[in-house]
Amino acid sequence: MGQTSLQTGGNPPTIEELEDLAFELRSKLLHLCGTYEGAVHIGGDLSAADIFTVLYNYGLNVDPTDIANPARDRFVLSKGHAAVCMYIAMAMRGFFSYDGIVETYGQLDSAYGMHPCKVQLPGVECSTGSLGHGLPLAVGMALSARGRGEGHRVFCLLGDGETGEGSVWEAAMAARSNELGNLVAFIDRNRQLMTSFAEERIVFEPYPDKWAAFGWNVVNVDGHDMRQLVEALDALPAADSNRPTVVICDTVKGKGVDFMERNLAWHAGSLGPADLERAMAALEASREKESV
């Protein structure tokens, strides 16, 4: 795949370059969390950081200088509370300024709300926030593209917790029934809800089998292994094929910061100066450990 722009020319980033971008994304997330006075959904942002990185820098066929191009791929963030991670990934891709996010995030009339709004922020394809709605919206967008004879893909990122909602499975059934091979869902399978671990409240397993039973092409990856994420994108069936694809990403909530990882207290939170310093040191240590 490796199409990072509707413009021609240029080589797609390497695995190492994507890993560096993911580290930068996490660093900027922590910086924002340390400067914003309110709570940031930092746990789920960190679990999805590698997915956002590979989508915006490798998978999505988009051009930040031509956001209305009809041939562009569409992206729907179903887990809308991860909006700040998407904003930063988009800023790093060239859609707008990272400094603007830090200066205005969460403020009245800011384009960078806690959930994304397409009216406030050009480049956002869909306003989201109420969980369970993103995939149905993406199905409609993919079906519309088919009806118009357009060849782009529609990508949707969901949290695993929201897939306990019936609207997700109605959409999954509709996608297969309408043979929407142009639809790709990514699941941030971090196995945590807001106040509990997923399997304590809802039995999801056998999770891949559920998607397969609905007729989807199912791909399982380590959601923090950039090579596996790239290979999953490279192996996507053609957009004119007849089966939607779901990429189930095994992730860790709070990934990269040891005191946040798998810690229910860090679904959302803020960082004071000392905590920010500690978090950045943990992120650096995690990177060094993974590079050995």
Higher pLDDT, 184 or 193: 184
Query: Does position 290 have pLDDT exceeding 60, yes or no?
Result: yes
C-alpha to C-alpha distance for 220 and 229, rounded to whole angstroms: 10
CATH class belonging to 15-291: alpha beta
pLDDT of amino acid 6: 61
Q: Where are the domains of the chain?
A: 15-291
- Packed helices 273-291 and 15-35: angle between N→C axes, nearest 10 degrees: 170
In the predicted structure, residue 160 carries a pLDDT above the cut 90:
yes
Taking only the tens place, the pLDDT of each residue in 4-45 is 556 545 789 999 999 999 999 999 999 999 988 888 999 999
pLDDT at 286: 93
In this structure, of 47-51, 177-181, 269-273, the range with the lowest mean pLDDT score is: 269-273
Rounded Cα gap, residues 155 and 76, in angstroms:
6
HSE at residue 124, side-chain half, CA atoms within 13 A, is 26
What H or E segment, with its residue span, contains residue 47?
helix 42-54
Pairwise CA distance, residues 161 & 201, whole Å: 10
Q: Please give the Cα distance from 169 to 159 (Å, whole number).
A: 14
pLDDT digit string, tens, across residues 86-108: 999 999 999 999 999 999 999 99
Share of the chain above pLDDT 90, in %: 87
If DSSP codes are grouped into helix, strand and coil, which group holds residue 100?
Answer: helix
pTM: 0.95
- DSSP letter at 8 equals -
Packing angle of the helix pair 83-93, 15-35 (nearest 10 deg): 130
User: Are residues 51 and 229 in contact, defined by beta-carbon separation less than 8 angstroms?
Assistant: yes
Task: Answer yes or no: are the C-beta atoms of 155 and 75 closer than 8 Å.
Answer: yes
